[in-house]
Amino acid sequence: MRALLAISHIVLSLALPISAQQAAKGKVLTDAPSDGVSFDFTPRADARQSSYIIAVPVDGLTRYIEFPVDDPNGPAAHPVLFKISDRTLQRLMSSYADVYRDAAQGKCETHLKGIASTGKKLLTYYRDGHSLGCTFDYADDATLNGVADAFESIASTLQFGERLQHDLRYDRLGLDAEIDALLEENSAGRAIEMQSIATTLQAIIDDDRVLERVRRKAAHLLESAGIPVKNYMPGPSAR
């Protein structure tokens, strides 16, 4: 994760959107991509969640920027840069026509009553220097909701990576429950793009102070994502 953070500080050309809400908060983000998609998530006011932005140009070089839970008006934290998979990139780009139609008709947000709020989502597509966006909490369009789910699943993986990194440094015993939770979310499709936290998973594998079953599970997550595991020979299986 440290390597990814260092790279993301250097590569500043990956574009991010400017929304009216962010501008009001003083979150100045510039250089929107000429082609790509971004997802801006703002949680409910009573939710203990971070707001974040994920920007995905068509080349797949994705940037994730998170804002502090305790100070949503504060400076951006935890920028991460990684290459998204082609499969997920195609999924994220799939709702351009739906956004074009729904934005034109003012139908981004559902008009159904009694839908529980999960947070505001701004999904923006960029083509040839122009942008088109939909803001919604929940949409009637299944494709739109599916793309939002994919972005949230990417963010979930990155947030798991932050917690794993913290536990590796301060609470190695806590890694056991955290990585089990990540495995469960990954299996359910609610945590995807494991390459985004590959550095952290490899660091867990490399640390012989970590429980063998945790190292084994970290290796499984990498291997299931098609990422080679370095310098690891599994020990006896144990739970």
For residue 208, name the pLDDT band (cuts at 50, 70, 90).
Answer: very high
pLDDT score of 78: 58
> Tell me, what's the pLDDT at 157?
98
Residue entry with tokens 């494991």: 194
Global pTM value: 0.84
Identify each DSSP E strand in 31-186 by its residue range.
36-42, 52-57, 61-66, 77-83, 120-127, 130-136
Nearest Cα neighbor of 128 from 58, 230, 208 is 58
CA distance 54 to 66: 9
User: Which pLDDT value is given to residue 105?
Assistant: 83
Q: Helix or strand or coil: residue 228?
A: coil
Give the pLDDT confidence score for residue 46 in this predicted structure. 84
Cα-based distances in Å from 131 to 36, 99, 124, 126: 9, 11, 7, 4
The pLDDT tens digits of the residues spanning 121-173 come to: 999 999 888 888 999 999 989 999 999 999 999 999 999 999 999 999 999 99
Residues 95-131: pLDDT tens digits?
999 898 888 788 899 988 888 888 999 999 998 888 8
Which pLDDT does position 75 carry in this prediction? 54
DSSP bridge partners of 55: 38, 63
pLDDT value, residue 91: 94
What is the pLDDT, as a whole number, of residue 4?
Answer: 31
The pLDDT assigned to 172 comes to: 96
Q: What are phi and psi of 124, to 5 degrees?
A: -125, 130
**Secondary structure (3-state) at 209:** coil
Q: Which of 64-68, 115-119, 215-219, 227-231 has the highest mean pLDDT?
A: 215-219
Cβ–Cβ under 8 Å, residues 197 and 1: yes
**CA-closest candidate to residue 123, choices 53, 38, 36:** 38
Beta strands in 106-219 (DSSP E): 120-127, 130-136
Mean pLDDT of 172-177: 97
